[in-house]
């Protein structure tokens, strides 16, 4: 009868709420990688949706393992935009085509790498180029 007082809900349930939140953020991050990957099929519409969600949900992932993935995705987006602008500007001298191709391959690489790291629950360095 002399059992210590246990708060309600028990700590296990409190942790499960946080675990559920983490699972939701993980799922969201997977969805965002999917939107970035669908870029080539949709003419860029999905990437615009993804970047908007990245900025809206950025505060929600602060301090979680998914913060680095959000930074990785945001940096990928903005560097790809810059690369595309440079490539389009140089199309008239024909050097723009290889630049656009290289930017496309680089973007695809970053989407695949980030998605794999998320799947394998490995930490990712958001400031890395590759």
55-91 pLDDT, tens digit per residue, is 999 999 999 999 999 999 999 999 999 999 999 999 9
User: Do residues 111 and 76 touch, judged by C-beta distance below 8 A?
Assistant: yes
Q: Supply the pLDDT for residue 14.
A: 54
- Supply the pLDDT for residue 9: 45
Length of the chain: 130
- With a cut of 70, which residues of the chain have pLDDT below it? 1-14
Residue 129 is predicted with a pLDDT of 85
- Report the pLDDT value the prediction gives residue 3, as an integer from 0 to 100: 52
- Rounded to two decimals, the pTM is 0.84
Does the N-terminal peptide bond of residue 27 adopt cis geometry, omega within 30 degrees of 0?
no
Nearest to 30 by CA among 105, 129, 89, 118: 118
Q: What is the pLDDT of residue 16?
A: 84
Q: Give the start-to-end residue ranges of the domains of the chain.
A: 11-119
């Amino acid at each position: 009868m002399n059992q210590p007082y246990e708060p309600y809900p028990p700590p296990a349930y409190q942790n499960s709420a946080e675990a559920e939140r983490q699972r939701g953020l993980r799922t969201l991050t997977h969805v965002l990688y999917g939107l970035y990957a669908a870029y080539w099929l949709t003419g860029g519409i999905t990437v615009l949706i993804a970047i908007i969600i990245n900025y809206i949900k950025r505060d929600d992932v602060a301090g979680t393992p998914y913060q680095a993935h959000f930074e990785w995705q945001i940096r990928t987006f903005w560097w790809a935009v810059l690369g595309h602008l440079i490539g389009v500007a140089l199309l008239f001298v024909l050097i723009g085509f290889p630049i656009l191709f290289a930017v496309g391959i680089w973007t695809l690489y970053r989407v695949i790498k980030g998605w794999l790291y998320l799947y394998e629950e490995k930490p990712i360095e958001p400031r890395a180029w590759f």
